[in-house]
Structure 1
């Protein structure tokens, strides 16, 4: 597969990927989750270097999950649910961060899960914004409601500075590559609920297994 950083972002592609993410039994397919994130990385990168501090980390996390999917136990990683069960049953999740195990799939996905909440909130704010809305404010609000509480002060400070130089709403709508503003709003209206469903299913799974605060 071509490097996701070298391709243009397409909101429709992300929509299509997240449509395939959830099974009828409400399980989340890890491969589709990863593909959805590849698309979201393109979105981050299309806005310049301001999101570099997040997108670089996301790319690293994606690769860890891909390695598990392609590894000798890949059949245990078909869904997020099967991954969590397999890793917990085999004590592969480092609950205390003593460094005894490599980065587990469960911990890696938790980091992406937190970032997905930020993007979900940000995209929803973009969808409901007006022409004179400040993207820096929209993004900061979404960040403060999600990722900020998991970041040290120095990262929060850097994020705040990055958000201040974000392009305006028209630039965000342009990189969606779906047409005029009303079309962007319509597609976001489809995409955000799908992202939200994936987030909610994962949140409930991690809550059930007490994994939301993995170090």
Structure 2
């Protein structure tokens, strides 16, 4: 049973984010940095599956998640982590844990929108529309013209829906179940992060 999800990234992601959602939905949510960074690390392979269009996202996301994983050895929760950065007056500086957390949150949000669009476009073998819409909604507002243009060109090299499912080692029906599970579970996690930033008067658009 322990190996039933081996080679099944969508299932691992679904399980990890359901557990994370339970944590943020608890009466007094204290999200361990270790639990959060582990769940986020399971999402990393998805960016690699999308090819050159999201290479920028893969490299940035992986680096930021790795930073949070390293931080987990000395920082207990996301709230403590943000408070430490506020105290050190480095929240919005490049490389701060809190800035990296914001970037990771955008990656989670992009995958959520992508899955929503893939589910909604059932029967269409092209991922161009789902990927374009998720990029436009989450990442594009924060990117300059050059990156937006490069991503637009890269969209033509996206794998087909069938190829993506093959890379993820899932059939259509099972993939849809796990994608929807991630959509449902990631929503409260993303909301928790937004509320964390807003409660500290940091905003979410920097």
TM-score scaled to structure 1, two decimals? 0.81
Q: Aligned equivalents of 2:177 and 2:15: distance in 1?
A: 14
Q: Which runs of 5+ in 2 are unaligned?
A: 1-5
Q: Is the 8 A contact 1:134 1:169 kept in 2?
A: yes
How far the C-alpha of 1:60 sits from its partner, in A, is: 1.3
Shift of 1:94: 4.1
Task: Report deviation, 1:122.
Answer: 0.4
Equivalent pair of 2:31/2:78 in contact (CA under 8 Å): yes
Aligned to 1:34: 37
Q: Give the one of 149, 156, 167 matched to 1:164.
A: 156
2: CA distance, partners of 1:8 / 1:92: 42
1:67 to 52, 70, 89: 70
Note if contact 1:19-1:194 (Cα within 8 Å) is conserved in structure 2: yes
CA-atom RMSD in angstroms: 2.2
Name the residue aligned to 1:83: 81
1:35-89 CA-partner distances (Å, limit 9, x unpaired) = 222221112223444422211111211222122222xxx1xx322222112322x
Equivalent of 1:55 in 58, 65, 83? 58
Question: What is the CA-CA distance between 1:8 and the residue it aligns to?
Answer: 5.0
Pairwise CA distance, 1:111: 1.0
- Report the counterpart of residue 106 of structure 2 in structure 1: 114
Is 1:104 the counterpart of 2:96? The answer is: yes
CA contact (8 A) 1:9 1:175 kept: no
How many residues matched? 197
Shift of residue 133 of structure 1?
5.4
Tell me how far apart the structure 1 counterparts of residues 153 and 121 of structure 2 sit (CA, whole Å).
22
Structure 1 residues 94 and 204: CA distance shift in structure 2, 3 A? closer
Structure 1 residues 28 and 163: alpha-carbon distance in aligned structure 2, compared to 1, 3 A threshold: farther
**SS of 2:20's equivalent?**
coil
* CA pair 37-9 structure 1, distance change in 2 beyond 3 A: farther
Q: 2:115·2:180 contact (CA, 8 Å) conserved in 1?
A: no
- Taking structure 2 as the reference length, what is the TM-score of the superposition? 0.85
CA distance in 2, matches of 1:57, 1:137: 23
CA contact (8 A) 2:110 2:134 kept: yes
Task: Indicate conservation of the 8 Å contact 1:8/1:42, yes or no.
Answer: no
Distance 1:170 1:148, change over 3 A: same
Q: 5+ unaligned residues in a row in structure 1: which ranges?
A: 1-6
Q: Distance in 2 between matches of 1:15 and 1:29?
A: 18
Q: Matched residues in 2 for 1:193 and 1:110: separation?
A: 20
Instruction: Determine the structure 2 residue equivalent to 1:209.
Output: 200
Matched, 1:10 2:13: no
Q: Secondary structure at 1:212's aligned position in 2?
A: coil
The residue aligned with 1:4 is none
